[in-house]
Every structure is written in C-alpha cells, then in structure tokens.
Amino acid sequence: MVVIVNAIVKKIPKNVYKLIRSFIDSSLSIKYPWNFGVRLSTLTTFIKFKKWHLKIYETKGGLSAELEGYGAKVIYNPDILLEIYDGKEIIFRAESFEKIVATYIESDGPYMEPLPISALIEKLNFYIDAVHMLISTPSDQEQEEKQD
C-alpha cells in the first residue's frame, strides 16, 4: 500500500535556508576538510569554515546533533527529533517521521527552491552514524590494555 500526503511548505528566513542548503549540498567526499571530525570526550565536531559547525554529543538517550551557522541553529535528537531556530526563536519543530517527510522549506530569493527536511535528516544521520561507529569500536589503546 502507498500513502500520499500533501507537502507542507514552510517559508523560513534566508539565514536559516542558507545554513540548511549549505549543509545539505556539502560533499561527503573524504577529500574535503569538513568531513574530518575532531573528538573531545563526548563531543565530536565537524566544521565547514564560514558556513557551518556540526557538533555531535553523546547523551544518555543516544547521540544528538547541533548544526550552527549564519546565525541559525538546528537541533536533532531522539527526544525532540528536530528543532530549527532562526537565531531568536523556534521556527520549526517536527516530532514525527510523517511531518519530516512531508515538510519542505523555502525562502525568498533567487535559487532558493524548496528543500526537503528529510534531506537534512539524512545528512545529519550520516554524521551521527559515523560517530556511532567510532564510539562503538574499541580504540587501539583499549585493545592494547585488554592484551596486557
């Protein structure tokens, strides 16, 4: 069975659109510096200079992501699922998969076609999965300690 719903198109400020568009459009190729994360205890960061800064935190409920840039912020975690801030207040909140799949964002201006929120979630999950694999795999130091 197939279910078809009408799309929800949410108009957002340009700074928020630029953040999300830059993040979604950034290549996942290992040759780019923003795909090299830095791990600090329970925090892993990825930075595309002058564009965005992605922080992935380990929490009791799993991993959470915070994406910042252009004065805007996106928070993605298991408890709230997704919140988008314009720098002052929450402008979008999704607590269900159905709302994420159906929602597109757009802004005024040239070349600002609607973007699916699901593409943002897919990209965030790529980085979260990479961090999850890292923390799930014993480090070389841990393996050496077990051998001693």
| Percent with pLDDT over 70 in the chain | 93
pLDDT score of 80 more than 90: no
pTM attached to this predicted model? 0.87
**Are the C-beta atoms of 84 and 99 separated by less than 8 Å?**
no
113 contacts: CB under 8 Å, gap ≥ 6: 106
Q: How would residue 74 be classed by pLDDT, with cut points 50, 70 and 90?
A: very high
**Rounded distance, CA 57 to CA 77, Å?**
9
- Best CA proximity match to 13, nearest among 87, 65, 66: 87
A 10 A CB-CB count for 6 gives: 6
> Would you list the DSSP string of 4-73?
--PPEEEE--HHHHHHHHHHHHS---TTSGGG--EEETTEEEEEETTTEEEEEEEETTEEEEEEEETTEE
pLDDT digits (tens, 9 = 90+) for 93-111: 988 888 888 999 999 988 8
Digit-coded pLDDT (tens) for 116-132: 999 999 999 999 999 99
Q: What is the pLDDT of residue 143?
A: 56
